[in-house]
Amino acid sequence: MLAIRHYTHAHPRAMPPTADSAPDSAPSPQQLAALRERLDGWAAELGFQALGVADLAVDAYVKRLDRWLAQGYQAGMDWMASRRDLRANPERLVGGCARVISLRMDYRPPDTEPLRILKSADKAYVSRYATGRDYHRLVRPRLAKLAARMQGWAARHWGADSCQRAFVDSAPVLEKPLAEKAGLGWIGKNTLLLNRAAGSWFFLGEIYTSIPLPVAAASATDHCGSCRACLNVCPTDAFPAPYVLDSARCISYLTIEHRGAIPEPLRGKMGNRVFGCDDCQLVCPWNRYARPSAEADFRPRHGLHNADLVALFGWSAEQFRQRTAGSAIRRVGFYGWKRNLAVGLGNGPATAAAIHALRSDATDSALVREHVEWALDRLTQTSLAQPCLAGPRPPCA
Ligand code: B12
Ligand code: SF4
């Protein structure tokens, strides 16, 4: 989800073998172990917080993926079904692939007070992964650098050409299962990958490699126990069962991936969440241990962590284009953004500013218009007790 679907590729480049290598030979277990050891240091230098290696056996997860698809829980994300085979067979996605290296990069910006903003109905809540620079732009080049270092190392130490391909989010990759296998954490009841020391505020990225690196000794075990906090807090009841998410009800899906009208019965439950949703992470006890990210690129831009709904709704198409340059928010488009903000305003307080913003909106889109009318209906109903706000400008001296 979350952005354009395309791949990165660290181009295999044969490098001349050095004197200590056996040209084009298979690497010895010692050589592989030495490279594995080296990877942790390189990953840390490139800003990743964890790295693990998995083999390609994902059958158990694929059974669950198939069940999920059979229930239609992918909603309008047809690409989840159409690219199922590549997801289920990593070696089909990258021929010659022997291992997947899974990496974690923490993203939560410091001091953005998510709970306060969520409780302030006149504010717009933007998921904390999306208030700064688009993570695809940050993570992918770092993965490519790591892949290039591996390539160079293999060429120098055993002289064989190898193949590396780097992915983040948008390729048909079972990211959470592979990360779980690689020892980076467990898939929790909220369906996110969790880590005891780091919670879940992180992105995952992968390098598919032809180098048969040693794999993680064991997957992490499940530490959700009897907790059900995420299942209970979900505003739209998007979890039909623990570990299973129905995207059609998930606010993240509705505000980012869904095109068209937001189903009316869900609008009132969305509150002020205008791009993504973090509730099932905010409530998770393991996120007490999450550390904020030091990446400058993940710092909020244009005050998006603390903006007023009215102010964002007032952006023109040109302002939207400028202020979301390099941001994941671009994915939803100007009309989708206005649609979401109209729902947020409809769920907020019936202030004169909110009603005025909605009434004077001239966006040329039937979709936006319909959501604006829905919001105005709600606000004018709730403002009946305040006649200054309702109706077509009564003289209220
Ligand atoms: C499609 C998608 C979405 C969809 C569907 C989410 C989903 N849970 O599938 C929507 C749009 C709703 C979404 C929302 C979000 N997403 Co998203 N999304 C993806 C994507 C592209 C694919 C996920 C996938 O494979 N889904 C298929 C289903 C079947 O997988 P699943 O629900 O995890 O089910 C597995 C397990 O739960 C388990 N399982 C299933 N049933 C059962 C039953 C039992 C008993 C057990 C034990 C296990 C089990 O097996 C299943 C198969 O692996 C990945 C990137 C990628 N390429 O992997 C990002 C990704 C999962 N998303 C991510 C993020 C950050 C989010 C949001 C937090 C963004 C936001 N703030 O709004 C929300 C979180 C919502 C949530 N609780 O999941 C990150 C998660 C990082 C992490 N820590 O886990 C990823 C990995 C992107 C990335 N590269 O960082 N996302
Ligand atoms: S809130 Fe509780 S049940 Fe949900 S993912 Fe976190 S620990 Fe697991």
Domain ranges of the chain: 8-112+126-209
Q: What angle (nearest 5°) sits at the alpha carbon of residue 145, between those of residues 95 and 110? A: 120
Q: Which CATH number fits domain 8-112+126-209: 1.25.40, 3.30.70, 1.10.3470, 3.40.109?
A: 3.40.109
Could you tell me which residues are beta bridge partners of residue 8? 166
Residue 161, pLDDT score: 84
Q: Among all ligands shown, which has an atom nearest to the Cα of 282?
A: 2
Asked whether the beta carbons of 124 and 272 are under 8 A apart, the reply is yes
Closest residue by Cα to atom 4, ligand 2, is 230
Contact between 209 and 203 (Cβ < 8 Å): no
Q: Which of 169, 246, 279, 361 is catalytic?
A: 169
Q: Minimum-distance ligand to the CA of 187?
A: 1
> Looking at residue 295, what is its pLDDT?
96
pLDDT of residue 160: 81
Is 169 marked active-site? yes
Smallest CA-to-CA distance from 98 within 53, 139, 52, 149 is with 53
**Model-level pTM greater than 0.85?**
yes
pLDDT at 217: 87
Exposure b/e, 13-49, CB count within 10 A at least 16 = b: eeeebeeebeeeeebeeebbeebbeebeebbeebbbb
Residue 345 and residue 313: Cα distance in Å, rounded? 9
- Asked if 86 contacts 93 with a C-beta cutoff of 8 angstroms, the reply is yes
Closest CA to 312 of 124, 129, 112: 124
Task: Output the ligand 1 site: residues, CB below 6 A.
Answer: 1-2, 61, 64-65, 68, 77, 80, 127, 129, 168-169, 173-177, 187, 190-193, 200, 202-204, 243-245, 247, 250, 252-253, 257, 276-278, 280
**For ligand 1, atom 21, which residue shows the shortest CA distance?**
1
pLDDT given at position 220: 80
Which residue ranges of the chain lie beneath pLDDT 70?
1-24, 383-397
The pLDDT value recorded for residue 236 is 98
pLDDT at 339: 98
Distance 260 CA to ligand 2 centre (A): 31
